Structure 1
Amino acid sequence: MGEKKKIFFFIYQLGSGGAARTMLNLLNNMDLDQFEPTLITLNYEGDYEKYLKEEITFIKLPTRRLRSGIIPFSKLIKKEKPAIVFSTIPNYNLIAIAARLLSGHKAKNIVREAALLGTEGKFNANLKLYGLAYRFSKKVVALSEGVRQNIIQNYKVHPKKVEVIYNPVDIENIETLMKQGEIAEEYQSIFHNPREKVIITAGRLVDDKDQATLIRAFATVRENIEANLIILGEGELEENLKNEVKAWNLEHAVYFAGFQENPYVYFHHADLFVLSSKREGFGHVLTEALATRVPIISTDARPGAAEVLDEGRYGVMTSVGDADALAAQMEDVLNWDNEKRTRVTEKGWERAASFRAEKIVKEYEMLFNQTIDQ
């Protein structure tokens, strides 16, 4: 056996977002005979820390401020001499690159980019900065083809540097959690009522996720079908969305269930999962919902949702922001017979399996090896 290759994984905290889930899935599925991964975060308590395998070294920098992390991070790089410093999310990528440069060590940076920054004509100063910084990185991982094109066009990064690797989905873990998990007591009666359908969505309560359009569509669905809507997630628009619910007199039918550590048991027992986003870099929640075998409707949130669902082969697609069209699709799917539902959800599960963590992690491992050998 040759010497193991040391890889640093950097993220601000192992919190509850998609980037943290990707890091967790990567770390927990790495080949530990070949690599020696170390997770580095700022000094936070993250929701997902308890799921990190014990064999993975975990170091917290002694600060919660990003900029203050550069010097301790660079000292760590100098001392431990990793072959690769891998990071995700633009601001954290800048910190990882700065720390590596400051360390004077010849580690190579690989940055992962999930967002579609610059697609609205703002962020231009930031984009120039990211583009410049990414020149000091050996590779940029884009989590969809659409994100790759955006990085090349808006960040002005050389196309040869940018590789698409989809998000890893830990299907086995999702299946275990969905079967063994418990729905919180206050929501159990909703799922046990055979006369009423359950529609579910999950995501941060922010403008990009556009739950407001879903609430409006749901108001229309309620005129014809007895149903409840459960909204998983937290965020700055919670009050606004609750006011929207009040405006439609839907307080008795819409439930804000907050952040749930195990959303999969909710997805699995729902009749329909809906994603109403305006934009998605990848749409990680769609792959997870597919893995729980629930029928899916998603807006044509570019580029990610369209890629995950392959333009509608694996889930029903509808236009962004169109509450009427969404309502019509929701009614249609809720009226499917069992045979059609099973056929569609089995196909969806096969799609989720194509993002299996083991397969995606192998792609990362190949990238790490190629970059080390460059």
Structure 2
Amino acid sequence: MKEILIASFDMEVGGVERSLISMLNNFDYEAYNVDLMLYSHTGDFIQLLPANANLLKESQSYKTFRMSIGQVLKSGKITLSLTRLMAKYKASMSKTSEPGYKQMQYMWKYALPLLPRIEKTYDVAISYLWPHYVVAEKVKANIKIAWIHTDFSTVETDVKTDIIMWQKFNYIIAVSEECKNTFITKYPSLKEKVIVMENITSPDIVTALSTEEVENPMTNDQRFKLITVARLSHAKGIDQAVKALKLVRDRGFKNIAWYVVGYGGDEEMLRELIAANGLEDSFIFLGKKMNPYAYMKAADLYVQPSRYEGKAVTVGEAQILAKSVLITNYPTAQSQVNDGVDGIICDLSVEGIADGIENLYQNDKLRKQLITNCLSKDFYNSKEMEKLYELI
């Protein structure tokens, strides 16, 4: 039986974590022994991990990467906290509008000498979330595989530092064809390593969970209801959503409410934006939900207002629930939705989102056609796992 290691950060509620759960639930445990290394044993999705996956003991050194610099200092790991400060300083010196990605790179790079090695030797080691330094440098394995879930054309990274890390891997798996293409554009020398494997979807689980009884303010809301399931972050474009709803209402469409399931660092800023636009009664945060599907089911339209995505898991889940879907034209959008068939792709702008909402609000026939097409689509893609088994 082959020994497999899968490494990731934690099991907080998110699309990447949800796709990892689906993959683990579809693994062939009769052929493979799977160890799961989570740097931090935190997150609501921990309880969803299948019993067949062996969760390795948490390392206090790795756990620090989900802690603030102040918390790391208090834990007594002074040298590790100094590497974090160094990473923050170096990232701040680079001319970039969003230094967070570079800071994360440098954080792992500088801390590597202080982190313990994984003693066991594996047949295959999989790093499920960038940056992939742990599997690259601290794990012994015959084959190493890294996953990419994002559109690398939209994030600013230290390319030279990244190339050194990527070269440690035999294969790189992209979650969509467009995700692969944007990655290769940035790292052309890695082209031969990249393979596409779609996120594994579990239609039966999504459908079953959508019928679960939850306290849902959407149930008694008679307005036309939009829903988005996403982190409250710049990448997900929730600020664009707020401005788009304001524009829609200014055009005279008052009977629309927008609900958001999710959490994140931008919440305070977004609440201020909502208040500034007088949308407190119609742009509503539902918070973090382990099961977002009951809320999706109660909506009339699913909207993904993102600035960039690798492939949004939630869009596919909304389609499984036979929802009409509107997504912005981020670079990988074409691999997510067949425009005009199983969803609509709008311009990536406040006006574009507003136009898309207005169109679908007024065009009941179009919404019904999108729903019909989703109902006839086959979302079962567990055969995608065969691509991974071939690599193994």
Q: How far, CA to CA, are the matches of 1:349 and 1:306 in structure 2?
A: 20
Q: Is the 8 A contact 1:70 1:98 kept in 2?
A: no
Matched, 1:20 2:59: no
Match of residue 389 from structure 2: 365
- Is the alpha carbon distance of 1:226 and 1:327 closer, same or farther for their aligned partners in structure 2, counting shifts above 3 Å? same
Amino acid at match of 2:117: S
How far apart are 1:159 and its partner, in Å? Answer: 1.9
Match of residue 347 from structure 1: 373
Matched, 1:319 2:347: yes
Matched, 1:220 2:247: yes
Amino acid at match of 2:304: L
Structure 2 residue matching 1:97: 3-state secondary structure: helix
**Equivalences for residues 238-249 of structure 1 within 5 A:** 238-249=267-278
**Equivalences for residues 107-146 of structure 1 within 5 A:** 107-119=142-154, 122-123=156-157, 125=158, 127-146=159-178
Structure 1 residue matching 2:327: 3-state secondary structure: strand
Structure 2 residue matching 1:346: 3-state secondary structure: helix
Amino acid at match of 2:301: L
Q: Is the 8 A contact 1:71 1:99 kept in 2?
A: no
How far apart are 1:264 and its partner, in Å? Answer: 0.8
Render the CA deviation track for 1:203-255: whole Å, top value 9, x for unaligned. Answer: 11111211122122212333224121111111222122112211221111221
Give me the CA root mean square deviation: 2.2
How far apart are 1:349 and its partner, in Å? Answer: 4.4
Q: Is the 8 A contact 2:2 2:33 kept in 1?
A: yes
Q: Which runs of 5+ in 2 are unaligned?
A: 66-107
How many residues matched? Answer: 344
Q: How far, CA to CA, are the matches of 1:243 and 1:165 in structure 2?
A: 40
Amino acid at match of 1:150: T
Structure 2 residue matching 1:36: 3-state secondary structure: strand
Q: How far, CA to CA, are the matches of 1:19 and 1:128 in structure 2?
A: 26
**Equivalences for residues 161-180 of structure 1 within 5 A:** 161-179=193-211
- Is the alpha carbon distance of 1:276 and 1:320 closer, same or farther for their aligned partners in structure 2, counting shifts above 3 Å? same
Matched, 1:310 2:349: no
Amino acid at match of 2:389: E
- Is the alpha carbon distance of 1:308 and 1:147 closer, same or farther for their aligned partners in structure 2, counting shifts above 3 Å? same
- Is the alpha carbon distance of 1:51 and 1:312 closer, same or farther for their aligned partners in structure 2, counting shifts above 3 Å? same
Q: Which runs of 4+ in 1 moved over 4 A?
A: 66-73
Render the CA deviation track for 1:150-183: whole Å, top value 9, x for unaligned. Answer: 332323443221101111111111001001x233
Identity across matched positions, percent: 20
Structure 1 residue matching 2:118: 3-state secondary structure: helix
Q: How far, CA to CA, are the matches of 1:306 and 1:315 in structure 2?
A: 11
Amino acid at match of 1:76: E
Q: Is the 8 A contact 1:209 1:276 kept in 2?
A: yes
Q: How far, CA to CA, are the matches of 1:60 and 1:312 in structure 2?
A: 48
How far apart are 1:71 and its partner, in Å? Answer: 7.8
**Equivalences for residues 156-235 of structure 1 within 5 A:** 156-179=188-211, 181-184=212-215, 187-188=216-217, 190-194=218-222, 196-222=223-249, 223-235=252-264
Q: How far, CA to CA, are the matches of 1:343 and 1:24 in structure 2?
A: 32
How far apart are 1:357 and its partner, in Å? Answer: 4.8
Q: Is the 8 A contact 1:318 1:326 kept in 2?
A: yes
Q: Is the 8 A contact 1:29 1:357 kept in 2?
A: no
Render the CA deviation track for 1:46-99: whole Å, top value 9, x for unaligned. Answer: 21111111122111332203567888763332xxx32100012222x1111101
Q: Is the 8 A contact 2:5 2:37 kept in 1?
A: yes
- Is the alpha carbon distance of 1:254 and 1:118 closer, same or farther for their aligned partners in structure 2, counting shifts above 3 Å? closer
Q: How far, CA to CA, are the matches of 2:226 and 2:118 in structure 1?
A: 50
Q: How far, CA to CA, are the matches of 1:165 and 1:328 in structure 2?
A: 33
Matched, 1:76 2:119: yes
Amino acid at match of 2:386: K
Matched, 1:94 2:120: no
Amino acid at match of 1:182: E
- Is the alpha carbon distance of 1:33 and 1:206 closer, same or farther for their aligned partners in structure 2, counting shifts above 3 Å? same
- Is the alpha carbon distance of 1:257 and 1:109 closer, same or farther for their aligned partners in structure 2, counting shifts above 3 Å? same
Amino acid at match of 1:289: A
Q: Which runs of 5+ in 1 are unaligned?
A: 369-374
Amino acid at match of 2:373: K
- Is the alpha carbon distance of 1:221 and 1:36 closer, same or farther for their aligned partners in structure 2, counting shifts above 3 Å? same
**Equivalences for residues 148-159 of structure 1 within 5 A:** 148-159=180-191
Q: What TM-score, normalized to structure 2?
A: 0.81
Q: How far, CA to CA, are the matches of 1:153 and 1:193 in structure 2?
A: 46
